[in-house]
Structure 1
Amino acid sequence: MQAANRVVLNTGFLYGKMLISMFIALYATRLVLNALGVEDYGIFNLVSGIVAMLSFLNSSMTMSTQRYMSFFLGAGDEQKLKTAFNSSVWLHLAIGIVVVGLLEIAGLYLFSNVLNIPAARLPAAKLIFHFMALSAFFTIISVPYDAIINTHENMFLVAVLGILESVVKLSIAICLQYVATDKLILYGAVLALLTVALLLAKRVYCALKYKESKMSVRDFDRQLLKEMFAYSGWGMIGASGVIAKTQGVAMILNVFFGAVINAAFAIANQVNAQLSFFAVTMLQSLNPQLVKSEGSGNRERMIMLSMMACKFSFYLMAFFAIPALIEMPFVLKLWLNNIPEHTVIFCRLIIVASLAYQLSAGLQMAVHAVGRIGKYQVIMSILLLLNLPGAYLLLKAGWPPASVLVLSIFIECVITAYRIFAAKRHTGMPVADFLRRVVLNAMLPVVLATLFSLVPYYFMEEGFARLLCTGIITVVSLTLFIRLMGLTPYEKEKLEGIIFKVMSKVHPRLAVPKAN
């Protein structure tokens, strides 16, 4: 019961942060696009994209490190927990140095032979790349602190830092409207400084709050470091596949169509990030409980939580994805003054690919919790990297830019099938149960709700009224169909319990006990 309360509270903190950060980020993007212009905005996102995609690398490494910390915390071994943190600090310092070195070497080749950037903006683009490489270093060495914060499920701090980061980025976007210097260079420099400031804040907080986060040579364990390096290394291989896929596709689009199309691709990725944040946040708040269940030897509970994570993350994404898919042209008009070409179709296709990912996201958490991830990560990376030769061949053959995202949807479906197989192999999860309880039960309510939500599109003129009507129909119909056919009796009981807890926290009089 205490674990359930913690999940509810943490999810609440993260959702509050998400709502504030989402609106700030959307408005900040509008300001930055207006200040930089479409071409410079495309250049920034192309060049900094490798660092933006390091958020996936950072998340993967955090999950890998957190796996050990949560495992030892769940087992009640405080000394091992302290040793794991100290070993992780040295590990990620080494990884950060290597990654920055590789980035700088790769940058020399990319700017000379690959990227399609106007000559007049090439010096600024190179400077931005150096700023982002520095930002990458500080992002990587902050991983142990992110992991220890997540291990202790301190989502209040995560929410506060996330909101502060969003406010600072909004302030930067506002300042860009009035400065006379090169706005592209200034924007990259200040964002790099923000990464340094966030690391310092996390480090000071952890040193004051968590005794295991104090550095000590005596708590260094070479054997554990080797084990963590192997585990983090496999995690990095998997995350690198995501990075190579996303940034590789961006570079291929740049080669064929120039920097302007990178602006459309960047906006589409940001729209998807905002729409999927509820689902990602739910997974983030549930992951520590899932790993602790495995650490305490409760494999059955771990599998159950991973299957629930798949279904609920898919539902949470669908609540926002359905109206966004239908009303994307109007949503972009409300949001941006200048909409780059191809943005609408890019947004729609990336959202569909994200829905396919959410349907099996919980299984990835389960495989990580068990720890046998070597072969899994290699195969995942190979599948993700198929996007690159596939995208190049499609564009070389004269297909439109959107074809590369259609290909990514197909590959994501293949990846989902492989995650199911991997979860069966590594955790013993019954495949038939997953297909029935997750895939079928989740897909049917979403398909039916989508059909109902299309009604205003055919009978109303485009505008805010139609957008509002579509959103209301989506929420009502999807909630109804989920309640009627999308949940097992156990899931209904758990969900009702969570709703009851939330309502009781809002007002004590709502805490009416159930009849025995």
Structure 2
Amino acid sequence: MTETNFNKQRIAKNTAVLALRMLFTMWINLYITRLVLQNLGIEDYGTYGIVGGVISMFAIFGGGLTNAINRFMAFELGKNESNIQKTFCSCMNVVFIFALLSFILLESIGLWFLNNKIQIPERSIIAANWVFQFSIITCVVNLISIPYNALIIAHERMNAFAYISIFQVLMNLAAVYAIGFINHNRLFFYGLFLATVSVGIRLTYQIYCRHNFKESKFRLIIDRSHMSEIGKFTGYSLLDGIMVMLFAQGFNVLLNINFGVVMNGIFSIATQVRTSALAFSQNVQKAIEPQIIKTYSNGETDKSLKLIYEGSRMQIYLLAFIAVPIWVRCNQILSLWLGDVPEGTALYVSIFLFISMIYAITCPVITGALATGNIKRFLLVADFIYIIAIGLLYIIPHLTNTTSQSFAVFLLSIETAVALYRIYAFSKISSLSLRKFAWACIFQPILVIAAAYYSISLVNSYFRYNLTGLIEVVIASCIILSLIILFTGLNNYERKIILKMFNNIKLRIIALL
């Protein structure tokens, strides 16, 4: 075991840094959503969501490229002898090709789809097209920046993400305030401001890499065999990204076709809650991801699997601290957050939090599969499930009087099926124990969260239904969850580590006093 590849102290530090960043950015982002909804209105907010959905449908290369390049960068750094600059340059060459292809697809098929297949209020059509163009610029810049972000992740410089993310969310907040002073074409200016912020932030990441990593200097190094390997890996990841995108954004489009832009607004709100909540648990994922890949690259497979077990458990436990209070007082939280809550929002928010937990469990598993490089069957069968789901989503409304609520339940069912398959598939390409994973990362966390939810629900009625009462519920929820996780959700070794950590914190506080 090398200090470079396996360092729990670094994981803890990076997790803490990312958690502090998240606590700040999450609440600001939630407040931003409220301001945007107030300043744009539900129709323009839904229009912005569906335009972003179209971009996501055609910006399919980002996910595949990110997975592939993150894997190759970390894998190369994990070797005892590596040529990271050669890998970086090969990744940049591949990215340039995909960025050009994305631009062509967006300006042709994407633009046609926006203007011919999407229901957009007539007064917003021109603004929607401008927002689409701004989003294209952002999309291409984001693609070109992927290798630079991968370098930061591979080197585990998570503090860079923390500082730059805080700056970005403050700029987004400024953009939302700015549109409040504009009387006309608010949708247009909102898209313009966000595109400007996004481009500036991506350039900031690039400048950071240039000053900290000498291998980030691009040179025209063409290694066809290496590029082919990266391209093949990207292809499989890309196909998976296409299916995930078609299912998620296709779901959004079908909501639009069957229920109109108001449901797109609800979908965007639920997605925002899911993204914000998942960001809390993803602090662990970001911290352990490079070490899962680097330890595997260096032949330390036992260490890699240990990180996968621990990462899955810790992510779902962290997510529970966000999800459980929301489930208990969803309507009140939505009312305080949004003011006027569209009907049906609470159901979508609750279900999307369940989906977040499913993703949190499987996220380290996906990273483990990427580390092995044996991803063909791991991805393609899951993609087949998404293909079937897309067809059913299109056909069912023509056969029955389907409601938007049944759409949400269907989404949860498909995501559960895909997650269970991925866990099974990873066990076939690694030494992962299904029995151990099922108990430690699925059944035990479910029992812990169910017990916590039941306990908090029992005491919920004792707290007033106002802001003070909500804060009291959140505090009670955190205490109850902490106790249940500590005494029933951890093994003896993990419990000793947690108790030791709290004891060290207590001693430091006493020393300060």
Instruction: Report TM bin, short chain.
Output: over 0.9
C-alpha contact 1:308 1:362 (8 A) present in aligned 2: no
Residue 286, structure 1, aligned to residue 291, structure 2: no
C-alpha contact 1:456 1:469 (8 A) present in aligned 2: no
Matching residue of 1:344: 346
Look up the equivalent residue of 1:96 and give its one-letter code: A
Residue 44, structure 1, aligned to residue 38, structure 2: no
- What is the CA-CA distance between 1:253 and the residue it aligns to? 0.6
* Aligned residue among 457, 464, 467 for 1:464: 467
Q: Which sits farther off after the overlay, 283-292 or 54-63?
A: 54-63
Q: 1:49 to 1:507 in 2, by over 3 A?
A: farther
Q: 1:54 to 1:479 in 2, by over 3 A?
A: farther
Matching residue of 2:393: 391
Using structure 1 for the length normalisation, give the TM-score: 0.93
The whole-number CA distance in structure 2 between the counterparts of 1:16 and 1:84 is 32
C-alpha contact 2:63 2:238 (8 A) present in aligned 1: no
C-alpha contact 1:452 1:473 (8 A) present in aligned 2: no
Look up the equivalent residue of 2:33 and give its one-letter code: T
Kindly provide the CA deviation profile for residues 266-325 of structure 1, in whole angstroms up to 9, marking residues without a partner as x. Answer: 011001111111111210111011111101101111111111111111111111101101
Kindly provide the CA deviation profile for residues 139-158 of structure 1, in whole angstroms up to 9, marking residues without a partner as x. Answer: 11110000001011111111
- Percent identity of paired positions between Structure 1 and Structure 2: 26
Q: 1:322 to 1:57 in 2, by over 3 A?
A: farther
The whole-number CA distance in structure 2 between the counterparts of 1:285 and 1:353 is 22
Matching residue of 1:368: 370
Q: 1:497 to 1:368 in 2, by over 3 A?
A: farther
The whole-number CA distance in structure 2 between the counterparts of 1:260 and 1:95 is 34
Look up the equivalent residue of 1:149 and give its one-letter code: I
- What is the CA-CA distance between 1:501 and the residue it aligns to? 7.0
Residue 447, structure 1, aligned to residue 486, structure 2: no
Computed over aligned residues only, the root mean square deviation of the Cα atoms, in angstroms, reads: 2.3
C-alpha contact 1:437 1:488 (8 A) present in aligned 2: no
Q: How does 1:60-459 map to 2 (within 5 A)?
A: 60-78=64-82, 80-217=83-220, 219-396=221-398, 397-458=400-461
The whole-number CA distance in structure 1 between the counterparts of 2:226 and 2:351 is 42
The whole-number CA distance in structure 1 between the counterparts of 2:182 and 2:336 is 26
Using structure 2 for the length normalisation, give the TM-score: 0.93
- Secondary structure of 1:338's match? coil
- What is the CA-CA distance between 1:499 and the residue it aligns to? 5.3
- Secondary structure of 1:216's match? coil
Kindly provide the CA deviation profile for residues 193-233 of structure 1, in whole angstroms up to 9, marking residues without a partner as x. Answer: 2222122212222112101111122x432211110111122
Look up the equivalent residue of 2:105 and give its one-letter code: L
- What is the CA-CA distance between 1:372 and the residue it aligns to? 0.8
C-alpha contact 2:378 2:426 (8 A) present in aligned 1: no
- What is the CA-CA distance between 1:381 and the residue it aligns to? 2.2
Look up the equivalent residue of 1:3 and give its one-letter code: N
Look up the equivalent residue of 1:472 and give its one-letter code: I
Look up the equivalent residue of 1:411 and give its one-letter code: I
The whole-number CA distance in structure 2 between the counterparts of 1:454 and 1:16 is 28
- What is the CA-CA distance between 1:351 and the residue it aligns to? 0.9
Q: Which sits farther off after the overlay, 150-159 or 120-129?
A: 120-129
C-alpha contact 1:441 1:487 (8 A) present in aligned 2: no
Q: 1:456 to 1:496 in 2, by over 3 A?
A: closer
The whole-number CA distance in structure 2 between the counterparts of 1:55 and 1:469 is 43
Look up the equivalent residue of 1:391 and give its one-letter code: L
Q: Which sits farther off after the overlay, 462-471 or 441-450?
A: 462-471
Look up the equivalent residue of 2:185 and give its one-letter code: D
The whole-number CA distance in structure 2 between the counterparts of 1:224 and 1:119 is 49
The whole-number CA distance in structure 1 between the counterparts of 2:503 and 2:464 is 40
C-alpha contact 1:380 1:415 (8 A) present in aligned 2: yes
Kindly provide the CA deviation profile for residues 169-204 of structure 1, in whole angstroms up to 9, marking residues without a partner as x. Answer: 000000011023411111112222222212221222
Q: 1:220 to 1:509 in 2, by over 3 A?
A: farther
- What is the CA-CA distance between 1:489 and the residue it aligns to? 2.6
Unaligned segments of structure 1, at least 5 residues: 511-516
The whole-number CA distance in structure 2 between the counterparts of 1:369 and 1:293 is 9
C-alpha contact 2:59 2:139 (8 A) present in aligned 1: no
The whole-number CA distance in structure 1 between the counterparts of 2:182 and 2:287 is 40
Look up the equivalent residue of 2:393 and give its one-letter code: A
Kindly provide the CA deviation profile for residues 41-74 of structure 1, in whole angstroms up to 9, marking residues without a partner as x. Answer: 1100110124467899645533321211112211
Q: Which sits farther off after the overlay, 157-166 or 339-348?
A: 339-348
Kindly provide the CA deviation profile for residues 123-163 of structure 1, in whole angstroms up to 9, marking residues without a partner as x. Answer: 22122112212211111111000000101111111111111
Look up the equivalent residue of 1:303 and give its one-letter code: L
The whole-number CA distance in structure 2 between the counterparts of 1:352 and 1:319 is 13
C-alpha contact 1:318 1:446 (8 A) present in aligned 2: yes
Q: 1:141 to 1:211 in 2, by over 3 A?
A: same
Matching residue of 1:514: none
Q: 1:27 to 1:71 in 2, by over 3 A?
A: same
C-alpha contact 1:8 1:498 (8 A) present in aligned 2: no
The whole-number CA distance in structure 1 between the counterparts of 2:337 and 2:375 is 41
- What is the CA-CA distance between 1:402 and the residue it aligns to? 1.8
Q: 1:167 to 1:328 in 2, by over 3 A?
A: same
* Aligned residue among 31, 36, 42 for 1:32: 36
Q: 1:416 to 1:269 in 2, by over 3 A?
A: same
C-alpha contact 1:74 1:296 (8 A) present in aligned 2: yes
- Secondary structure of 2:343's match? coil
The whole-number CA distance in structure 1 between the counterparts of 2:504 and 2:464 is 41
Matching residue of 1:513: none
The whole-number CA distance in structure 1 between the counterparts of 2:501 and 2:108 is 51
Count of residue correspondences: 507
